[in-house]
């Protein structure tokens, strides 16, 4: 188990948790406006 590593890109340090899927994600893969990862954000397209 790779604790602390972003599960989206696998490179950066994970400091956020997606509130939709619960994935640990880094700043580059996190959308502060929606509180989700970029994967979930693409699916929802919230403005
Ligand atoms: Zn990432
Ligand atoms: Zn997510």
Map 28-42 to HEC letters: HHEECCCCEEHHHHH
Distances in Å between the Cα of 35 and the Cα atoms of 4, 12, 20, 21 are: 18, 18, 8, 11
Number of independent structural domains in the chain: 1
Q: How far is the CA of 47 from the centre of ligand 1 (A)?
A: 21
Q: How far is the CA of 11 from the centre of ligand 1 (A)?
A: 6
Whether 43 shows a pLDDT value over 70: the answer reads: no
Ligand nearest to the CA of 39: 2
**Report field, pTM of the whole predicted structure over 0.85:** no
Write out the residue range of the structural domain in which residue 27 sits.
1-47
pLDDT at 2: 52
Q: How far is the CA of 44 from the centre of ligand 1 (A)?
A: 19
pLDDT band at 47 (very low <50, low <70, confident <90, very high): low
Percent of the chain having pLDDT more than 70?
85
pLDDT at 3: 72
Ligand nearest to the CA of 31: 2
pLDDT at 39: 92
Q: How far apart are CA 12 and CA 4, in angstroms?
A: 8
41 near 31, Cβ under 8 Å?
Answer: yes
Whether 45 shows a pLDDT value over 90: the answer reads: no
């Amino acid at each position: 188990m790779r604790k602390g590593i972003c599960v989206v890109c696998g490179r950066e340090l994970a400091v956020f948790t997606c509130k939709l899927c619960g994935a640990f994600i880094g700043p580059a893969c996190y959308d502060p406006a929606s509180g989700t990862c970029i994967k979930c954000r693409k699916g929802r397209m919230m403005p």
